[in-house]
């Protein structure tokens, strides 16, 4: 537990950190820091919000983080910060003092990113989601009493299964079907008018086209959705014929929560990178000013080294994230950007390129402001960067002799790696699936389409999601996709999965 | 002040974590046929009761990329060239011989969940729809343990006199008499005492002494002494000491003729392992005797049982006859529950002789005779082995089904026979279920 003296010192340090952050050019605001138990922090990590609904998947994450923390001593929970109107963060009471100071510094980095980055600014418009989660926790318990625990769990499962299928554009303004329909019909009518203005001979030739437009216009009157939509949950909430009100309410909450968390997911690499980049500089300054003892600074360095360690099996955002900013800073300071630099083919000349442009500081703030992880991967995962970070792609293989799963490096090709990262950062690496028809075959069945870009859907998971789709729609569901380069139509009718070509 | 210490709030994670673990248990239950045939469980060296089962965390399915054939892909950082191995971990459902796909579900780590064998058995029983095994299902046997003292009685030889109890009775009588003398004579306590003492503890005499006023005994205080009548004698009661014990012997019989290869022995071992685990739950004491046979049979230690590779003809009757002898000399059915479990590929030279030997075993009132017809990979169905066919004919066995597994049972109480055709690993669970059902029916 923190002694009153320590608490006093920590408050003084927090003030100083805020000043230093401002000197570095970071945006700051009042942040509520709460000193809590490790378990409370772990709960917050698993449940995403200070209070949230009850669900086994949160329990699973809680169990995993807690087990790692309590049994291995690793995975010290040290960082939870929320992008609320007034940002809120946790400190763990029994974490070492130096670690809590680091957390404060790290949180100031995040808060700047919240205030600066366009996507997270957007995320702040969902600031009341924490409040909504708090209410939902109470309300859902009442639903459990009325409709049964299982029924509540099933609808949450189904919602979570589809929650990341949001509109591809995070800034997309929602439109109701009627608006879209009116717009589409107007477009078709204009095409029709254009045909009528043609010369008589040309008009005759375009008779077939006219017919087609008329058919489309007729269909448009009843078609739902008028054009494919990617927000699957929203469509289910609005249109699923047999959902009950309380079920729609649950789905609405899940969707809102996912939408509020989406900007974080899209920028995680840059966000963690930014916070780590700045906490290192803030901590060094505190030490230089004599505000941290040598012992505390040593402890911080140990911890920092652990957190930023390269990971064999996963991309560590605390390692690669800050490296991006270091890399960008260096290049833009040396003037290694622009047409002339890009077009230069002499590797030696490129390496020694230095115009003393000193644009680094400006550029990293620009990256923090406008970029998503995907954009950063596209622009900065250059061969030079990929090599310096020792990035590779590995595959898992089954060793037939021992039955073990063996992980093997398959490529270090920077181009391949960049492509893979770009894709994995586009919509969280999820396949794009759109709702095409809510009244398929005029039987009120649900038809969705997977937009194939060279990668198939994993069958076991696909069937699992189909079952959830059925649970929402309660009538047969269809999914169009591509398997071995041939179109396939998968369906599920509540008891049987089938497929046709 | 921006840094505050809020009030402690209730923990919420635990209940949800429990729900997840319940779901995992459910997942284990679904994989039971695969799990119980895991070679690692039954061959493990240490005798611990806990097995580790690799099991996934339960995931909410999402649409994700990856084909059924594709291999899992991930990104990492570090040294190493293309083709270098950066790590390995135990595969899911380590099934030798079964061609698996490399984790087609990337990024999902298996966590090792520890499950007690007992828990697995409970799951199998639940799966079977059987309630927990209770003692009433078990045949208890009276075991003679010699003699023991159980209470006291009024008569007996002097050597068994319970001195303490007898003295206590005597003292009680003393006080009773004293009070009666006071009442009947109207004299004071001390005088009554003196009279009693003078009379040597005889009431009528003491009363007479008092009435005649001829008490000569003098005393300053009452020192009680026991007055013993025949009624007051207490002797230790001796009873025969017996106890109700539940114990069983399993005769594990295995054909080790040339045709019994490693795989067949694996089936035999697997069945036996679970059988014994079940019986251990049921009985306080379980003994296992291992017998191997080809043309002749002999008792062997456990290690030899599974490692012996011999050749020669197959005369199953030789092992049944050996069991018969052992029951007669060491394991009478009156004090043992007897299970005989025979694993063979059923190419018996003299099936008729086996039938005769088996009939003798049934006459000895054994609990059950199980026959495992082990022919991995073969089609099952009507094409039972020669030996199984002979049993079916001789004992008029009915062909029933446990799941997809055909089982051969008799509906005669005198013929506790269970015939099984093991063809693949997945048969082991239904085979065990069939065994459990039969055993209870027998009871």
Written as six digits, the tokens of A410 are 């398959």
Block residue for tokens 């703030």: A365
| Residue A320 to residue A299: CA distance in whole angstroms | 22
| Residue A71 to residue A62: CA distance in whole angstroms | 14
> Which DSSP helix (H) or strand (E) runs through A12?
helix A4-23
- Please compute the mean of the pLDDT values over residues B428-433 and round it to a whole number: 84
Interface of A with B in 20-79 (CB under 8 A): 30-37, 39-40, 42-43, 46-47, 54-60, 62-64, 66
Query: What strand order describes the sheet that includes A486-492?
Result: A433-440, A445-450, A477-483, A486-492, A497-500
A480 lies within 8 A of chain B by CB: no
Written as six digits, the tokens of B312 are 């020669």
Strand partners of residue B318: none
Interface of A with B in 431-450 (CB under 8 A): 431, 433, 450
CA distances from B340 to A170, B316, B395 (A): 70, 13, 17
Cβ contacts (< 8 Å) between B70 and chain A: which residues?
456
Confidence of residue A429 (pLDDT cuts 50, 70, 90): confident
| Residue length of chain B | 443
- Listed as own residue / partner, the contacts of A45-49 with beta carbons closer than 8 Å and 24 or more positions apart are A45/A77, A45/A80, A46/B13, A47/B12, A47/B13, A48/A133, A48/A257, A48/A261, A49/A82, A49/A129, A49/A130, A49/A133, A49/A134, A49/A257
Instruction: Specify burial of residue B238 (Cβ count, 10 A radius: 0-12, 13-18, 19+).
Output: middle
Lowest mean pLDDT: which of B17-26, B39-48, B315-324?
Answer: B39-48
pLDDT of B102 reads 34
Cβ contacts (< 8 Å) between A412 and chain B: which residues?
81-82
Cβ contacts (< 8 Å) between B64 and chain A: which residues?
429-431, 457-458, 461
CB A273 within 8 A of CB A321: yes
* Interface with B, mutate which of A30, A45, A60 (most B CBs under 10 A): A60
* Interface with B, mutate which of A38, A136, A138, A392 (most B CBs under 10 A): A392
pLDDT of B83 reads 86
> Which DSSP helix (H) or strand (E) runs through B251?
strand B247-255
CA distance B27 to chain A (A): 14
- Please compute the mean of the pLDDT values over residues A182-187 and round it to a whole number: 94
Span B378-392, pLDDT tens digits: 766 556 678 888 888
Residues with Cβ < 8 Å from B58, sequence gap 6 or more?
Answer: A56, A57, A60, B20, B23, B24, B27
Please compute, for residue A256, the number of CA atoms within 13 A of its CA located in the half-sphere on the CB side. 18
CA distance B372 to chain A (A): 28
For A358-375, give one letter per residue: b (16+ CB within 10 A) or e: ebbeebbbebbeebbbbb
B390 or B159, which is more confident: B390
Please compute, for residue B262, the number of CA atoms within 13 A of its CA located in the half-sphere on the CB side. 3
Helices B13-30 and A38-47 pack at an angle, to 10 degrees, of 60
A404 lies within 8 A of chain B by CB: yes
Chain A, chain B: beta-carbon pairs less than 8 Å apart: 249
| Residue A128 to residue A113: CA distance in whole angstroms | 19
| Residue A267 to residue A367: CA distance in whole angstroms | 11
Residues with Cβ < 8 Å from A435, sequence gap 6 or more?
Answer: A225, A228, A229, A230, A232, A235, A446, A447, A448
Instruction: Report helix, strand or coil for A256.
Output: helix
The pairing of beta strand A405-411 with beta strand A445-450? unpaired
Lowest mean pLDDT: which of A202-216, A293-307, A314-328, B380-394?
Answer: B380-394
A317 lies within 8 A of chain B by CB: no
Instruction: Say whether the peptide bond before residue B359 is cis (omega within 30 degrees of 0).
Output: no
**Nearest beta carbon to residue A410 from set B18, B61, B82:** B82
Q: For A447, list phi and psi in degrees, rounded to 5.
A: -125, 125
Written as one string, the DSSP assignment of B101-120 is: -S-SSTT--EEEEEEEHHHH
A308 lies within 8 A of chain B by CB: no
- Please compute the mean of the pLDDT values over residues A196-220 and round it to a whole number: 85
A412, closest residue in chain B (CA to CA): B82
Cβ contacts (< 8 Å) between B43 and chain A: which residues?
none
Residue A441 scores a pLDDT above 80: yes
A30 or B311, which is more confident: A30
Instruction: Specify burial of residue B346 (Cβ count, 10 A radius: 0-12, 13-18, 19+).
Output: buried
Cβ contacts (< 8 Å) between A32 and chain B: which residues?
2, 4
Residue B96 scores a pLDDT above 60: no
Span A3-58, pLDDT tens digits: 889 999 999 999 999 999 999 999 999 999 999 988 889 999 999 988 899 999 99
CB B103 within 8 A of CB B111: no
CB A136 within 8 A of CB A112: no
CB B222 within 8 A of CB B191: no
CB B13 within 8 A of CB A46: yes
ipTM: 0.86
A211 lies within 8 A of chain B by CB: no
| Residue B233 to residue B169: CA distance in whole angstroms | 8
Interface of A with B in 336-395 (CB under 8 A): 389-395
**Nearest beta carbon to residue B91 from set A42, A56, A403:** A403
Cβ neighbour number for residue B349 with a 10 Å cutoff: 16
Instruction: Specify burial of residue A194 (Cβ count, 10 A radius: 0-12, 13-18, 19+).
Output: exposed
With an 8 Å Cβ cutoff, are B13 and A43 in contact?
A: yes
CA A463, A466, A467, A468 dihedral sign is positive
With an 8 Å Cβ cutoff, are B4 and A450 in contact?
A: no
Span B52-90, pLDDT tens digits: 666 667 888 899 887 655 566 788 898 888 888 888 776
A160 lies within 8 A of chain B by CB: yes
Instruction: Specify burial of residue A423 (Cβ count, 10 A radius: 0-12, 13-18, 19+).
Output: middle
- Please compute the mean of the pLDDT values over residues B370-382 and round it to a whole number: 77
Location of each CATH 3.40.50.410 domain in chain B:
246-442
With an 8 Å Cβ cutoff, are B100 and A314 in contact?
A: no
Residue B239 scores a pLDDT above 90: no
What mean pLDDT, rounded, does chain A reach? 91
With an 8 Å Cβ cutoff, are B106 and A93 in contact?
A: no
Cβ neighbour number for residue B183 with a 10 Å cutoff: 9
> Which DSSP helix (H) or strand (E) runs through A287?
helix A245-288
With an 8 Å Cβ cutoff, are B3 and A11 in contact?
A: yes
- Among A225-234, B23-32, B95-104, B313-322, the range of highest mean pLDDT: A225-234
The share of chain B scoring above pLDDT 90, in percent, equals 3
Residue ranges in A289-335 assigned as alpha helix (H) = 294-307, 317-333
Cβ contacts (< 8 Å) between B20 and chain A: which residues?
56-57, 59-60, 63
Residues with Cβ < 8 Å from A489, sequence gap 6 or more?
Answer: A478, A479, A480, A499, A500, A501
B104, closest residue in chain A (CA to CA): A458
Instruction: Report helix, strand or coil for A41.
Output: helix
| Residue A243 to residue A238: CA distance in whole angstroms | 10
Cβ contacts (< 8 Å) between B61 and chain A: which residues?
161, 460-465, 467-468
CA distance A449 to chain B (A): 12
Cβ contacts (< 8 Å) between B19 and chain A: which residues?
56, 59, 153
With an 8 Å Cβ cutoff, are B62 and A465 in contact?
A: yes
A428 lies within 8 A of chain B by CB: no
CA distance A116 to chain B (A): 22
Q: State the Rg of chain B over Cα.
A: 37
Written as one string, the DSSP assignment of A410-454 is: EE--HHHHHHHHHHHHGGGGPPPEEEEEEEETTTTEEEEEE--SS
pLDDT of B49 reads 62
The share of chain A scoring above pLDDT 70, in percent, equals 98
pLDDT of B48 reads 59
Instruction: Report helix, strand or coil for A409.
Output: strand
CB A273 within 8 A of CB A320: yes
With an 8 Å Cβ cutoff, are B106 and A396 in contact?
A: yes
Span B193-215, pLDDT tens digits: 988 888 888 888 888 888 888 88
A417 lies within 8 A of chain B by CB: yes
Residues with Cβ < 8 Å from B334, sequence gap 6 or more?
Answer: B141
With an 8 Å Cβ cutoff, are B102 and A31 in contact?
A: no
With an 8 Å Cβ cutoff, are B4 and A34 in contact?
A: yes
B38, closest residue in chain A (CA to CA): A403
Residue B436 scores a pLDDT above 80: no
Instruction: Report helix, strand or coil for B295.
Output: coil
pLDDT of B99 reads 35
> Which DSSP helix (H) or strand (E) runs through B252?
strand B247-255
Domain B246-442 has CATH 3.90.420.10: no
A241 or A1, which is more confident: A241
């Amino acid at each position: 537990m923190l002694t009153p003296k320590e608490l006093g010192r920590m408050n003084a340090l927090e003030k100083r950190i805020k000043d230093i952050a401002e000197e570095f050019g970071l945006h700051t605001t009042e942040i509520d820091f709460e000193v809590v138990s490790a378990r409370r922090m772990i709960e917050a990590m698993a449940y995403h919000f200070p209070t949230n609904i009850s669900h086994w998947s949160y329990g699973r994450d809680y169990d995993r983080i807690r087990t790692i923390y309590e049994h291995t001593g690793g995975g010290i929970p040290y960082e939870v910060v929320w992008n609320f109107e007034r940002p809120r963060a946790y400190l763990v009471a029994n974490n070492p003092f130096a670690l809590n100071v680091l957390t404060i510094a790290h949180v100031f980095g995040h808060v700047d990113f919240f205030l600066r980055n366009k996507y997270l600014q957007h995320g702040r418009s969902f600031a009341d989601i924490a409040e909504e989660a708090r209410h939902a926790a109470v309300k859902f318990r009442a639903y459990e009493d009325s409709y049964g625990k299982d029924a509540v769990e099933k609808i949450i499962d189904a919602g979570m299964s589809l929650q990341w299928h949001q509109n591809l554009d995070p800034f997309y303004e929602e439109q109701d079907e009627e608006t879209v329909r009116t717009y589409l019909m107007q477009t078709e009518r204009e095409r029709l008018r254009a045909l009528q203005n043609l010369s008589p001979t040309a008009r005759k030739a375009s008779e077939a086209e006219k017919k087609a437009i008329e058919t489309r216009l007729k269909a448009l009157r009843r078609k739902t959705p008028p054009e494919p939509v990617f927000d699957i949950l929203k469509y289910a909430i609005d249109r699923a014929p047999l959902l009950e009100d309380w079920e729609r309410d649950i789905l609405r909450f899940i969707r809102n929560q996912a939408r509020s968390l989406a900007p974080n997911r899209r920028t995680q690499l840059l966000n963690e990178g930014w916070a780590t980049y700045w906490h290192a500089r803030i901590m060094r300054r505190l030490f230089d000013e004599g505000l941290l003892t040598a012992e505390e600074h040593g402890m911080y360095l140990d911890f920092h080294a652990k957190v930023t360690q390269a990971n064999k099996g996963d991309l560590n955002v605390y390692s690669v994230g800050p490296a991006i900013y270091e890399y960008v800073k260096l290049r833009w300071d040396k003037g290694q950007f622009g047409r002339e630099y890009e077009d230069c083919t002499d590797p030696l000349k490129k390496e020694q390129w230095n115009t003393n442009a000193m644009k680094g500081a400006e550029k990293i703030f620009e990256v923090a402001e406008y970029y998503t992880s995907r954009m950063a991967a596209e622009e900065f995962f250059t061969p030079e960067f990929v090599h310096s970070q020792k990035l590779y792609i590995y595959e898992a293989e089954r060793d037939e002799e021992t039955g073990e799963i063996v992980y093997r490096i398959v490529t270090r090709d920077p181009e391949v790696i960049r492509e893979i990262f770009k894709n994995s950062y586009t919509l969280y690496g999820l396949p794009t699936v759109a709702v095409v028809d809510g009244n398929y075959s005029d039987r009120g069945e649900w038809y969705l389409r997977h937009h194939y870009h060279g990668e198939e859907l994993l069958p076991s998971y696909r069937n699992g999601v189909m079952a959830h789709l059925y649970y929402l729609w309660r009538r047969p569901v269809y999914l169009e996709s591509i398997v071995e380069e041939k179109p396939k139509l998968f369906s599920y009718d509540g008891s049987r999965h089938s497929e046709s070509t | 002040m921006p840094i505050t210490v809020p009030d402690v709030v209730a923990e919420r994670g635990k209940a949800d974590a429990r729900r997840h673990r319940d779901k995992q248990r459910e997942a284990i239950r679904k994989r039971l046929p695969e799990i119980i045939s895991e070679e690692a469980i039954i061959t493990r060296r240490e005798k611990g009761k806990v097995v580790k089962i690799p099991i996934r965390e339960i995931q909410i399915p999402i649409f994700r990329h990856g084909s059924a054939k594709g291999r899992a892909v991930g990104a990492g950082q570090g040294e190493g060239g293309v083709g270098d191995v950066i790590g390995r971990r135990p595969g899911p459902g380590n099934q030798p011989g079964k061609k698996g796909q490399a984790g087609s579900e990337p990024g999902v780590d298996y966590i090792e969940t520890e499950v007690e064998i007992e828990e697995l058995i409970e799951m199998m029983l639940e799966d079977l729809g059987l309630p927990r095994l209770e003692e009433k299902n078990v045949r208890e046997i009276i075991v003679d343990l010699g003699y023991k003292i159980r209470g006291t009685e009024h008569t007996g030889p002097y050597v068994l006199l319970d001195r303490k109890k007898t003295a206590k009775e005597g003292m009680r009588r003393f006080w009773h008499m004293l009070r009666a003398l006071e009442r009947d004579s109207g004299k004071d306590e001390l005088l009554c005492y003196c009279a009693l003492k003078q009379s040597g503890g005889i009431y009528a005499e003491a009363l007479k002494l008092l009435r005649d006023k001829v008490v000569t005994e003098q005393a300053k205080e009452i020192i009680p002494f026991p007055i013993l009548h025949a009624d007051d004698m207490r002797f230790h009661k001796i009873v025969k000491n017996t106890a109700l014990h539940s114990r069983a012997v399993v005769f594990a019989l295995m054909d080790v003729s040339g045709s019994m290869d490693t795989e067949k022995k694996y089936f035999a071992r697997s069945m036996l392992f679970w059988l014994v685990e079940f019986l251990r739950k049921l009985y306080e004491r379980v003994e296992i005797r291992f017998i191997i046979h080809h043309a002749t049979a002999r008792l062997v230690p456990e290690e030899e049982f599974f490692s012996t590779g011999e050749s020669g003809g197959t005369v199953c009757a030789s092992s049944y006859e050996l069991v018969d002898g052992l029951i007669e000399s060491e394991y009478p059915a009156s004090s043992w529950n007897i299970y005989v479990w025979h694993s063979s590929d059923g190419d018996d030279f003299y099936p008729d002789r086996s039938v005769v030997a088996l009939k003798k075993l049934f006459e000895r009132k054994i609990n059950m005779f199980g026959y495992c017809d082990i022919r991995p990979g073969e089609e099952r169905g009507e094409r039972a082995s020669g030996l199984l066919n002979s049993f079916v004919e001789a004992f008029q066995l009915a062909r029933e089904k446990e799941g997809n597994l055909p089982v051969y049972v008799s509906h005669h109480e005198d013929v506790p026979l269970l015939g099984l055709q093991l063809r693949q690993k997945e048969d082991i669970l239904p085979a065990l279920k069939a065994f459990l059902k039969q055993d209870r029916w027998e009871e």
